[in-house]
Amino acid sequence: MKTILLILTSVVLFMSVGCEKEELVNTWVQGTVVNGDDQTYIPDALIYLMSNDKPFTGGFSDWEYVDSMLTDSEGYFRFDYQARENTRYGVYPKKEHFFDYRQVQFQSRSQKEAGIKPPLFPKAYLEIRVQDEPPYSGINSMHIDTPFGQETIEIKGDPIDTTVIRWLHPPSELYGWFYHLDTGWSEPFGAYATCSQFDTCYYEIIF
């Protein structure tokens, strides 16, 4: 009899704990997505409301998508949502022709009424002509280092004569390249490329 009573008591306690509802709080986050270079508004940017219930976060993969919307003609957005206890919330914007750093931005209490301004940074596009001119050097392999998540550009040819495209963070960026010699990779060569946001600019590597 005592054993049955103990089991029933445990079941009742388990049910009461398991059925306890998590408290939700009505709240909101608002702001304006801006161009990080000149602070102009960005319309039609896709912005996500994100949540993270992990006590310690190792990166973007720990965040979950809650909701999404497009910014209006002045870059404005607002999410009205129910927040869970012990869960962090933030926003993550992205748009074509802007760099995607996969970063979530938070809103402080002082920013709640004024709103936040998550930035997006514009891309430019660099068209690079790589050409070995007569008398030929004998170099038939090289690579161009590319930051911002792009794969290193590997170039081969005999002689080398090709055109490649890479991203550029305007207004200017230092990039480098290496020739492959019989003794291994050469010392690095480099140059500053200058280009306005969203433009496609041209640069030549002639050797």
- What is the average pLDDT value for the chain, to the nearest integer? 88
| Structure-token pair, residue 190 | 């480099």
d(CA 75, CA 3): 65
Euclidean distance between the first and final Cα of the chain, in Å? 94
Which of 46-55, 73-82, 97-106, 134-143 ranks highest by mean pLDDT?
73-82
Q: Pick the closest to residue 98 from 165, 39, 42, 151 (CA basis).
A: 42
Fold of 23-120: Immunoglobulin-like (2.60.40)
Looking at residue 62, its pLDDT comes to 92
**How many Cα atoms occupy the beta-carbon half-sphere of 106 within 13 Å?**
8
User: Domain boundaries in the chain?
Assistant: 23-120, 124-206
Fold of 124-206: Immunoglobulin-like (2.60.40)
Task: For the chain, give the percent of residues with pLDDT over 70.
Answer: 87
Q: Are 76 and 36 in contact, with CB atoms under 8 Å apart? A: no
Looking at residue 112, its pLDDT comes to 86
Name 183's Cβ contacts closer than 8 Å, sequence gap at least 6: none
Q: Pick the closest to residue 126 from 80, 192, 73 (CA basis).
A: 192
Region 177-188: what's the mean pLDDT? Answer: 90
- Intrachain domains 23-120 and 124-206 with the same fold: yes
Task: For the chain, give the percent of residues with pLDDT over 90.
Answer: 67
